[in-house]
Amino acid sequence: MSTHRRAAALELVMTAIMLFIAVTATRWLMVTIDSGSGGWWNTPQRRLLAVAPIAGYTVTAFMLSPWGRATGGHLNPAISLAMWRYGRTPGRDVLPFITAQLLGSVVGTAAARLAWGPAIAGRATDYAAVAPAPGWSWAAVAAVEAGTMFVIVAVAGIGISSRRLGRYTPWAVGTLITAQIIAFGTHSGGVANPAREFGPALLSGRTALLPVYLLAPVIGSLAAATAVRRAQRRPSADLPSPTAIPPRTAAVGAGRPSTSPSSAS
């Protein structure tokens, strides 16, 4: 298997594991609520305090893992496009990565259904597909999804270009993912990752807002990468221009060259 195909295969496997964890967490933490028992913990909003760190720091763990260092640990089509825009991922890897991430989303969701049975497909779990709160329009959802991805990609872009901050970037990304899920999970859905929603939406049949969840993070991601690149063109001792950064580098925050032809999330 070529290095490029192996990198795409690793993205598929990592994304599948991420979705399996997400669907499993939804099954066991979010839909076991007994609304009649009361208690501080017994609301969807409060359960997000457990679900959000699982989601956020799963991404951090993959970014820091050997697999993540080999591919960049993107697990998100919007991140793959941003890293291409930053000059960190070769253009020929973008489409294979995105295809692998979306396929991994379906595989991971289906694997959770096989592991946990009909409860995953039931109304309470519904394959962990997200949906906005009543009253939220598609435009409001798009604004939040694009805005949160803008922040994540901007922070990642600054981190991967900084000698001092690079090692902290995976933790910053995981923390931002955690924060956006807590802040917006019961409002817009709070995914900011097309792969996170793709498999659950397809298998549950809840595809009405799928185009928004697919496209809005991409728009925010590319806007952030463009803004950071422009800012980095100004002289700075710690933020070198992206043109000065080798296009094939290690995962976000690794701060050293990679033997892989692809990189960074």
State residue 204's pLDDT score: 96
State residue 253's pLDDT score: 40
Per-residue pLDDT of 138-173, as tens digits, reads 999 999 999 999 999 999 999 988 888 889 999 999
Residue with tokens 């950064």: 245
Mean pLDDT of 119-125: 88
State residue 68's pLDDT score: 94
pLDDT at 188 over 80: yes
CA distances (Å), 40 to each of 37, 45, 67, 123, in order? 10, 10, 39, 24
Q: What is the DSSP letter of 249?
A: B
The burial of 84, by beta-carbon neighbours within 10 Å (0-12 exposed, 13-18 middle, 19 or more buried), is given as buried
Token pair, residue 100, equals 């692998």
Q: Which long-range contacts (CB under 8 A, 24 or more apart) does 244-251 make?
A: 245/86, 245/87, 245/88, 245/160, 245/161, 247/87, 247/88, 247/89, 247/90, 248/88, 248/90, 249/88, 249/160, 250/69, 250/72, 251/63, 251/64, 251/68, 251/69, 251/70, 251/71, 251/72, 251/73, 251/170
Mean pLDDT of 196-214: 96
Q: Which residues contact 253 (CB under 8 A, 6 or more apart)?
A: 63, 64, 159, 160, 166, 167, 168, 169, 170, 171
How would residue 257 be classed by pLDDT, with cut points 50, 70 and 90?
very low
pLDDT at 258 over 70: no
Instruction: Give the residue with greater pLDDT, 46 vs 245.
Output: 46
